[in-house]
Every structure is written in structure tokens, then in C-alpha cells.
């Protein structure tokens, strides 16, 4: 039985929860389990059944076995599943920290498996630059650019293949997130990278929002979706309102509700279903009360996902449900 609108796993990202509390200055990594429970309860109260565990909030890779059990127990106590984990800004080809980041990714896989996850997301994005940290929206500043170098690109292939093999041993999928100016920075480059890795459990996270928010010329969102979704095994969804004034040379892109931005997710979701996507969807949003916006986006997704599960993924949904 294929997934339907009511059974499709949709999780909340934790972008709005910082590593260090702005209220009391406590590091989430060192916080008592009660603090974790309060966050998980907020996510559950917003209407989510699942949560993505991002190491930008709490690094599960760096928790002791007893603390990892406490962390998982806190999620379960709030009624949340933990189907996915996300490795944030720890590129395995970082010139200075690549080896350490690779080790961190291996430990993330182990910890995610221990918590019952089935997908771990990674990418090649690196820490924000000083310029990006000073901007209202970090994507308006120039970040790291992967070198146009065959050897470095092959290192990315080799290290992701190593992680993919480890993930397979643990029964996990590895998903590689689209991100600008990296070897995952365009639809063509991302597909080439995952194809070169060549493992069945390694796919793409076609986070279209990461690419259409840039204040520069962008790839058409439909081209990104149609090229990458056939390789997708996980999906970060977010949207942006975008305006271009070519004569003045200006671009504006700001976060928007999923149904209100540049990307038509009704079309994108239909496309995903038509090519067989059955992965977890994760709602992300920057700015304001990101959790509440993500909750509204979940409700929208459940309106536009297939309402019945009696169809065959990868075949025309319209024809099957007619």
C-alpha cells in the first residue's frame, strides 16, 4: 500500500531552536532532559507526529549512551517519532575540518540508528561566513564555494560513498541536500554526484528553497524538481516569495508559506508522486514563529498529497485514481 495524505510521514525541522538559549544562555547539548522534553512538546502541540533531529540544536553524535537514551525517551514522552536526522554545515570536504566532519557523520549514523531513524541527511554546506552572519538573511551574502577541482569532487564522492556503505549496514538511507555553490548546487551537478556515488541507499534531498532564494539568477524551480525528484529519498520543503527587477539589477527573496511562494508545491508534490517518491517530508521555515508556519505548511501538504493509498508509486496518479 502506497502512502497517502494521512499516512505520509511529515516532520518538523528545528531551525527555530538555537544551540544556545537566548533566554538563559544554556547550551541545548548540556541541558537536562526536561529542556529537551519542552521543545518536543512544543513540536507535538503544533500538530506534528515526527521531528527531524538536527545537530545544529543537539548533536546526537556527541551524546553519551545514557544521554542518547534520555534524548530518545524525551521525544517518545512527547509522542514524537524520530525518523530523520540532519548533519548541518559539516562538509566532509572542508579543507580544515573535513576529516573530523567525516568522523562526526559516522557517529551521527550510529546515533540516528539507535534512535530508530531511517534517513540521515548530509550536505556540503560549510559554516556561515562573517559576512553572512551580519546579514538579516544569510543567503544574501556570499558563502563558501566548492572548488572547480576534479580531485576535491572525487573526494566528496569517496567520502559520501563511505558514509552510504555505513548507512546501509545500519539499515539507513543517506540523503544529500541541494545547496548553492557546492557540488550539490545545481540539479545537474547533484544528480551527477549521487550517480557517481552509485549506492541504492544514497539519494537526494531536493531542497528547492535553498536555490530559489538566492539574490542572483537562478535555475527554474520546475527544472530543479523534474531533474532531482527521481533521485529523492528525503525532502526539505520551504518556499520564498521572489521578485526580480532586471533593469535595476535587484532581486528580493523572503520566506513565504509553502502555498504562497515562487514554487508551486501542488505541482511539485504531484511530480514527486508520479516518479515514485515515498520518503519523509520535512517542513522548514526561517524567521518569525517558524514552527507555526511549518505546522500550517504540514496542513497544506496533507490537503494536496494523494488522499488514497491505493495507487502504485511511479505511475500516473490521475489515471490510477480516475
- DSSP H or E stretch at residue 290: helix 290-304
pLDDT at residue 248 tops 50? yes
pLDDT at residue 237 tops 50? yes
DSSP codes of every residue in 245-278 = ETTTTEEEEEEE-TTTSSS-HHHHHHHHHHTT--
Contact 280, 49 (CB under 8 A): no
DSSP codes of every residue in 200-229 = TTEEEE--THHHHTSSS----HHHHHHHHG
Confidence tier at 322 by pLDDT (50, 70, 90): very low
pLDDT at residue 318 tops 60? no
Using left for φ > 0, alpha for ψ between -120 and 50, and beta otherwise, residue 149 falls in beta
pLDDT at residue 216 tops 50? yes
Q: Of 60, 175, 172, which is closest to residue 124 (Cα–Cα)? A: 175
Q: How far apart, in Å, are the Cα atoms of 107 and each of 86, 88, 98, 199?
A: 12, 14, 14, 20
- Across the range 264-286, mean pLDDT stands at 97
Sorted by where each starts, the structural domains of the chain and their CATH numbers stand as: 10-238+265-321 (3.20.20.150)
Instruction: Give the integer Cα–Cα distance in Å for 230 and 271.
Output: 9
Let me know the angle formed at the C-alpha of 298 by 296 and 301, rounded to the nearest 5 degrees.
115
For residue 205, count other CB atoms closer than 10 A to its CB: 29
Q: What per-residue confidence (pLDDT) applies to 52?
A: 98
- pLDDT, tens only, 79-126: 999 999 999 999 999 999 999 999 999 999 999 999 999 999 999 999
- pLDDT, tens only, 11-41: 999 999 999 998 889 999 999 999 999 999 9
Q: Give the β-pairing of 50-54 and 10-12.
A: parallel
Confidence tier at 249 by pLDDT (50, 70, 90): confident
- Across the range 247-274, mean pLDDT stands at 96
Q: Which residues contact 68 (CB under 8 A, 6 or more apart)?
A: 60, 111, 114, 115
Using left for φ > 0, alpha for ψ between -120 and 50, and beta otherwise, residue 249 falls in left
Q: Which residues contact 11 (CB under 8 A, 6 or more apart)?
A: 48, 49, 50, 51, 52, 81, 83, 84, 280, 281, 282, 283
- 40-50 as b/e: b if 16+ CB within 10 A: bebbbebbbeb
Q: What 3-state DSSP class applies to 80?
A: coil
- Across the range 197-206, mean pLDDT stands at 98
Q: What per-residue confidence (pLDDT) applies to 315?
A: 57
- pLDDT, tens only, 155-195: 999 999 999 999 999 999 999 999 999 999 999 999 999 99
Contact 75, 48 (CB under 8 A): no
Amino acid at each position: 500500500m502506497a502512502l497517502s495524505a494521512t499516512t505520509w510521514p511529515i516532520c518538523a525541522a528545528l531551525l527555530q531552536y538555537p544551540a544556545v538559549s537566548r533566554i538563559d544562555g544554556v547550551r541545548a547539548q548540556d541541558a537536562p532532559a526536561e529542556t529537551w522534553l519542552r521543545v518536543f512538546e512544543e513540536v507535538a502541540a503544533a500538530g506534528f507526529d515526527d521531528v527531524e533531529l538536527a545537530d545544529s540544536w543537539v548533536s546526537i553524535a556527541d551524546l553519551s549512551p545514557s544521554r542518547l537514551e534520555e534524548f530518545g525517551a524525551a521525544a517518545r514522552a512527547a509522542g514524537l517519532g524520530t525518523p530523520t536526522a540532519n548533519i548541518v554545515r559539516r562538509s566532509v570536504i572542508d579543507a580544515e575540518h573535513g576529516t573530523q566532519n567525516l568522523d562526526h557523520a559516522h557517529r551521527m549514523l550510529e546515533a540516528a540508528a539507535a534512535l530508530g531513524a531511517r534517513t540521515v541527511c548530509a550536505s556540503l554546506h560549510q559554516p556561515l561566513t562573517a559576512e553572512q552572519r551580519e546579514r538579516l538573511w544569510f543567503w544574501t551574502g556570499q558563502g563558501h564555494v566548492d572548488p572547480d577541482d576534479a580531485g576535491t569532487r572525487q573526494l566528496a564522492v569517496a567520502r559520501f560513498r563511505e558514509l552510504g556503505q555505513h548507512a546501509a549496514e545500519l539499515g539507513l538511507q543517506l540523503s544529500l541536500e541541494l545547496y548553492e555553490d557546492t557540488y550539490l548546487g545545481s540539479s545537474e551537478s547533484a544528480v551527477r554526484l549521487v550517480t557517481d556515488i552509485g549506492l541504492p541507499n544514497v539519494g537526494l534531498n531536493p531542497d528547492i528553497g535553498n536555490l530559489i532564494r538566492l539574490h542572483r539568477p537562478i535555475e527554474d524551480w520546475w527544472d530543479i524538481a523534474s531533474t532531482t525528484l527521481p533521485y529523492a529519498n528525503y525532502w526539505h520543503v520551504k518556499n520564498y516569495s521572489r521578485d526580480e527587477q532586471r533593469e535595476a539589477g535587484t532581486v528580493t527573496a523572503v520566506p513565504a508559506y509553502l502555498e504562497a511562494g515562487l514554487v508551486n508545491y501542488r505541482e511539485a508534490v504531484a511530480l514527486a508522486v508520479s516518479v515514485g517518491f515515498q520518503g519523509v517530508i520535512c517542513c522548514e521555515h526561517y524567521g518569525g514563529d517558524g514552527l507555526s508556519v511549518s505546522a500550517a505548511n504540514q496542513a497544506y501538504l496533507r490537503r494536496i498529497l494523494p488522499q488514497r493509498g491505493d495507487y502504485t508509486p511511479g505511475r500516473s496518479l490521475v489515471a490510477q485514481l480516475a
